[in-house]
Amino acid sequence: MLVVSALFGLLITGASTGQASTEEIHTIVSELHSRKYAEALAVLRGALATSPRDPRLWTLNGFALLHLGQNKEALTSYERALEISPDYVPALEGDAEIRFSASDRKAIPLLKKIVSVDPKNETAHAMLGSLAFLRGDCVIAASEFGQSSALIASQPDALKQQAYCLVKLKRESEALAAFERLSELEPNNHAITYNVALLESMEGNYQETIKRLEPLVRSGPPEPEILDVLAEAYEATSSTPQAVAALREAIVLAPDEPSYYVDFADICLAHSSYQVGVDMLTSGLRRLPRSAPLYLARGILYVQLGEYDKGEQDFGQAEQLAPNAQASPEVQGLAELQRNNLPQAEVTVRSRLQKQPNNAFLHYLLAEILVRKGAAAGSPAFTEAVNSAERAVALQPNLALARDLLGRLYLSEGKLNQAIIQSQLAYSQDPDDQTALYHLIVALRKGHRDSEIPPLSKKLTQLREHLRAKEAAQRKYTLVEVTPPQKPGIEIQEPSK
């Protein structure tokens, strides 16, 4: 950061009575310029004895100490310079450099003072960006990195931090530019090449995605996530056979990753190859028998095949495994309690209902617990479950989870009209609710209203495609965050020889 030759003019400026002479400063700078730090310190001791109020000498003293590994003493020297001259930029830079290297937040006000004096100081802006990144503030980090673009263009760590934050902020085009520059700096870094391809895919540039990823696949054993992104690009460019082959290979390499089975099934759904998709999902369920997404995807394919009973069974399994998939974090926490200990969950919920009798979610949760404990149609427990679900929707009409459950209970009782109404209401409240749409199809089929089913089946397929694209985008944001640097990454320049 402190480049002696660059700072020489600044250091000699303003010499006055009580300060070291230009010749003394020149001698010290010459020693530092030659990396003779011990010799420079010897000269500085004498100069400081005669000119103890010269901030330039304390700054150069700190620089020499820093490069001899005496960081604590260097920091003290810089602080002494700032006591004499609080806005002296070289001392501010030296102090900030040490604190920055230690990820010390006290560097921030120093760096801010530097940019207030010198708004075009890219090194200070880059350091502020890196520190903002380390504390998770990507808005500030992206802004600061944007003001140091020329400097960080040659700094891979800073570019990675910038790119990481731009992805988090969903500024894909800018992130792509940062990753492309990284790719130029590190052409053999496959992780960077993958991220460039991933962002190209987000931008809809599928041919570029293929162009970048195919060499990675050919160069050695491919990573399954690379094959997954490549498959999406193939499918988007009407190269379905290649997409299918890529996904098959991804499944072979990572047979316990459910998303690859689901992506394969979604291609089958798009091309009306329903049985092929069912077969692949069935294979996946042999390895992952508790995967709700696989049951849900297979249930949708069964609907397209007209095998409604099998589809209903799969949807039921998905609901049992993940009944609160669309709920809030609080709901998910309670669902975890249900999965671990249903009797205790029932005791807990009943106790809470005594204190909060008008809590709609607690009424829904009680109904869900009773059903999961095996309440059969016609039993007192089943009747209580229905009553509790009805109470939940009465208290909170937009509680889609309760309406989905109530529709399922009405189906079990054979109350088809009520089931249809609840499913229609749930679907109208949440157009992404696959469960509500499926229950509606089943109720209409059991009510012999077959003419209404085809358009709903088409909607189910379209909804699946929509959710697939949405899930893929979310997954990409996760995948692109590859090992961001954990320490400040701005290179500190040394004096040139």
Over residues 252-282, the pLDDT tens digits come to: 999 999 999 999 998 888 787 889 999 999 9
Domain boundary, last residue among 88, 119, 150: 119
Domain boundary, last residue among 119, 150, 179: 119
Pair 59, 87: CB distance under 8 Å: no
- Residue 72 counted as domain residue: yes
- Residue 287 counted as domain residue: no
Question: Residue 297: pLDDT above 60?
Answer: yes
| Burial label, 348 (beta-carbon count in 10 A; 0-12, 13-18, 19+) | middle
Over residues 304-332, the pLDDT tens digits come to: 787 878 887 887 788 777 754 443 333 43
Question: In angstroms, rounded to a whole number, what is the distance separating the alpha carbons of residues 222 and 2?
Answer: 45
Question: In angstroms, rounded to a whole number, what is the distance separating the alpha carbons of residues 308 and 303?
Answer: 6
- Residue 420 counted as domain residue: yes
Nearest to 318 by CA among 297, 348, 337, 347: 297
Residue 431's CATH number = 1.25.40.10
Lowest mean pLDDT among 4-18, 214-228, 440-454: 4-18
Over residues 60-118, the pLDDT tens digits come to: 999 999 989 999 999 999 999 999 989 888 889 889 889 888 878 888 998 999 899 88
DSSP letter, residue 357: T
Question: In angstroms, rounded to a whole number, what is the distance separating the alpha carbons of residues 422 and 150?
Answer: 59
Over residues 323-377, the pLDDT tens digits come to: 544 433 334 334 444 445 678 778 878 888 888 888 888 888 888 888 888 888 8
CB count in 10 Å sphere of residue 417: 10
| Domains identified in the chain, total number | 2
Average of per-residue pLDDT across 400-416:
87
Domain boundary, last residue among 119, 147, 173: 119
Question: Residue 10: pLDDT above 60?
Answer: no
Average of per-residue pLDDT across 452-461:
83
Question: Residue 460: pLDDT above 90?
Answer: no
Q: What is the mean pLDDT of the chain?
A: 82
Over residues 241-254, the pLDDT tens digits come to: 999 999 999 999 99
- Residue 264 counted as domain residue: no
Pair 397, 361: CB distance under 8 Å: no
Q: Where do we find the tokens 């310029």?
A: 33
The one-letter amino acid code at 236 reads: A
Average of per-residue pLDDT across 291-306:
86
- Residue 306 counted as domain residue: no
CB count in 10 Å sphere of residue 76: 15
Pair 441, 458: CB distance under 8 Å: no
Over residues 171-183, the pLDDT tens digits come to: 888 988 998 998 8
Quickly state the pLDDT bin for 385 (edges 50, 70, 90): very high
Quickly state the pLDDT bin for 468 (edges 50, 70, 90): low
Average of per-residue pLDDT across 378-407:
89
- Taking only Cα atoms into account, the Rg of the chain, rounded to an integer number of angstroms, comes to 33
DSSP string across 342-354: HHHHHHHHHHHHH
User: Taking the alpha carbons of 45, 97, 25, 81 in that order, is the dihedral positive or negative?
Assistant: negative
Question: In angstroms, rounded to a whole number, what is the distance separating the alpha carbons of residues 60 and 39?
Answer: 12
Average of per-residue pLDDT across 472-479:
48
- Residue 61 counted as domain residue: yes
- Residue 482 counted as domain residue: no
345's CB contacts (< 8 A; 6+ apart) are: 334, 337, 338, 365, 369
**Range(s) of the domain holding residue 88:** 1-119
DSSP string across 41-66: HHHHHHHHHH-TT-HHHHHHHHHHHH
Helix (H) or strand (E) run with residue 68 in it: none
- Residue 351 counted as domain residue: yes
Nearest to 80 by CA among 109, 60, 103: 60
Q: What is the pLDDT of residue 258?
A: 92
